[in-house]
Amino acid sequence: MTSLPLLLVEGIAVDVTSAGDPVREVVLAQLTPDKVKAITVLEREPEGVYVNKAFTGWIIISLADKPLRKVLRRMEKRAQQP
């Protein structure tokens, strides 16, 4: 099986393989080109960052859309609560 790149949207990891991931669903439903500020593609993990899974690269998306950024941040906070 080929490893997929790690997708980070505003610093939040998006599980592109899991249909049940709520962040993935929001990103798929609301992400459009006009909401993207920048896309960075890295072949290797950034220096000083360790991830215990094998990825074939990183795709980092920065958003220009503040409302979508807020939605994703709220979802991340809820996911971290016990």
Q: What is the pLDDT of residues 46-71, one digit of tens each?
A: 666 666 566 678 899 999 999 999 99
pLDDT score of 1 more than 60: no
- The confidence score (pLDDT) of residue 50 equals 60
Q: How many CA atoms lie within 13 A of 1 on its CB side?
A: 6
Question: How far is residue 2's CA from residue 39's CA, in Å, rounded to a whole number?
Answer: 22
pLDDT at residue number 55: 66
pLDDT of residue 43: 82
Domain positions in the chain are 6-80
Residue 78: CB partners within 8 Å, gap ≥ 6?
Answer: none
Q: Is 14 exposed, middle or buried (0-12, 13-18, 19+ CB in 10 A)?
A: buried
How confident is the prediction for the chain on average, in pLDDT?
83
Place of tokens 């958003």: 63
Name the pTM for this structure. Answer: 0.77
